[in-house]
Chains A and B, each alone.
Chain A
Amino acid sequence: GENVEQHPSTLSVQEGDSAVIKCTYSDSASNYFPWYKQELGKRPQLIIDIRSNVGEKKDQRIAVTLNKTAKHFSLHITETQPEDSAVYFCAEAFGNEKLTFGTGTRLTIIP
């Protein structure tokens, strides 16, 4: 992977509403797309990932969609809760080695 753009940089949503974060990438050969969550002062942690042979993946309230033609992928969080407040990073990779990360989205859930 070479370059990944992430939007928005900040996002505030009412508790219970949905949040969507989008990333675009430039390398059409990229085939692995994970999402990481980083709480304040903590390490980034993998929350969900998707590979290029799959268009969508869900894990409870979290889902990731991938559009390889348009070269973008998105994180969807439904029924947001206060503990979802964090910085979220998308990433991409080609092959088996290193990840290239987006610049992050600070998500704030308003009670």
Chain B
Amino acid sequence: DAGITQSPRHKVTETGTPVTLRCHQTENHRYMYWYRQDPGHGLRLIHYSYGVKDTDKGEVSDGYSVSRSKTEDFLLTLESATSSQTSVYFCAISESGTEGAGYTFGSGTRLTVV
């Protein structure tokens, strides 16, 4: 496969609960990203990582946190889920940022907050 897996693939959660999405890669790529996809907005960057314990915010980071304790895993946490965070979440990896061969995306996680 693409060397990147996301879990879970689908999740329904209640407003106010914490949620953690996992992205796991077997490519040993340095860069990892979390995007959310919503109709009319395309893909918007939430957070990204350029190495273990090195992360930075994207354009829609409010209400989200991330952690990267190992090269292969990048976790996205919704601290207290809200209905506005209902979305499809994509993880992506890149060997050398945009100087490489571009991003490889995971299959996505469809999150519904009720």
Footprint of B on A, CB under 8 Å? 6, 32, 34, 42-46, 49, 89, 93, 95-104
Contact = CB atoms under 8 A, between A and B. Distances in A.
B102 A46 contact: yes
B105 A44 contact: yes
Q: Range of interface residues on chain B?
A: 20 to 34
Interface of B: 2, 31, 33, 35, 40-45, 48, 50, 58-59, 90, 96-99, 101-108
A44 to B, nearest CB: 5
A30 to B, nearest CB: 10
Contacts of B90: 43-44
Contacts of A42: 107
Contacts of A46: 101-104
B102 A49 contact: yes
A96 B96 CA distance: 7
Nearest to B99: A96
A104 B102 CA distance: 18
B84 to A, nearest CB: 18
Given A44-B90, A97-B50, A103 B42 contact: yes
Contact of A96 (B2, B35, B97, B106): B97
Contacts of B33: 98
Nearest to A33: B98
B43 A101 contact: yes
A45 B2 CA distance: 11
A96 B90 CA distance: 20
B97 A45 contact: no
Contact of B106 (A43, A89, A93, A100): A43
